[in-house]
A and B are shown apart, each in its own frame.
Chain A
Amino acid sequence: MVQTTSKNIVETWLHQDAATLLKWIDVEPSPIDDLIFGLSVLDGLIIKVDHLLSQEENQLCLQWATVTIKLYDRLLPHISSTLQITVATKIMMLRIRLMKALGVQSHSSILDPETIVQWFQKTCNLSLAETEAMAQEWKNQPVEKIRQLRQLKNQLQILVQLSQIPHILSSYPELMPWLNLKSQLP
């Protein structure tokens, strides 16, 4: 197995300007309804945003981050819940890298930490007390419970990164007990 030619097609798409790609994402039916292609473009966009950030092209970087998040929103309904975690993690980590580099900004579609906190609260389907009880002897839990605990740990990986931004935990003290639980989870 080697790098495929479709990679070259993706690279061609990524050489267009951000406004053109934004329109392309909205087209019906969109080429990104081909899941592999859509995910490849998403990966390519993330690399592009990181590259622009490293070059300190901050405005351009935010424009391309907007395209990336728009594509993520468009892809989400087409993918399974397990894959949603993977793709959401990529996007949330990207947001955090941008916040670390450019600072947080309330009501920004990209730089507002509230988006990540709300995502965690929406997707976490366990209570703190329930998690604490289950985590104590996780090896004796049914596989589906272990799966739930592991999913939570994967989500907490994102909150760990978010918590490294100065003053975040004073704005969101409710995250602290969850972060303290992480090391007890499978």
Chain B
Amino acid sequence: MARDLGIVPISINDRQFDTLISEGRVKWAVNLNRKLLFIPEFVNGQEIYHTVLSQGEPILAAGLADIVGNNGEYLLLWLSNYSGHYQPTATSLEFAKTVFQEMGINISYADLEIIN
């Protein structure tokens, strides 16, 4: 379905990132290469699943995020480890927070939501 909708994971450096976050919350994953990837949570009212981010491969962390901003200035409002597919640990969320920061996203005001 995601393929039909033309959904491909993108990184913060991709041109489409600003459009992606302006549409709403995003799903994210950190893959085994420590790359932070994003997809929309919903497209045309249909939820897009985390497996699209990882193609079913193992990942280091995953969840949901709410990010605002544009043109390289981004503010993380909310970060969660909620993923029905992977059920990530609380520790993985702390790790993800550092990866978000490394990518230049301001995490100073982020609410962390740990599902455990």
Contact = CB atoms under 8 A, between A and B. Distances in A.
B115 A1 contact: no
Interface residues of B, number: 36
A112 interface: no
Contact of A2 (B58, B69, B78): B58
B115 to A, nearest CB: 6
Contacts of B59: 1
A43 interface: yes
Interface string A69-106: 00000000000101100100110010011001000000
A154 interface: yes
Contacts, number: 79
B46 interface: yes
Interface stretch (A34-42, A122-130, A170-178): A34-42
Contacts of B58: 1-2
Contacts of B107: none
B6 interface: no
A161 B42 CA distance: 11
Contact of B45 (A42, A83, A97, A147): A97
A1 B96 CA distance: 13
A107 B66 CA distance: 34
Interface residues of A, number: 33
B68 A146 contact: yes
B109 A1 contact: no
Interface string B38-52: 000110111100000
A93 B46 contact: yes
A1 B61 contact: yes
B28 interface: no
Given A3-B56, A93-B47, 16 more contacts: A1-B60, A1-B62, A1-B92, A4-B86, A7-B85, A35-B115, A39-B115, A86-B64, A86-B80, A89-B42, A97-B46, A146-B75, A147-B77, A150-B68, A153-B24, A186-B68
Top 10 closest pairs, chain A to chain B, by CB: A43-B84, A161-B45, A186-B68, A143-B109, A2-B58, A157-B24, A93-B45, A4-B87, A154-B24, A40-B84
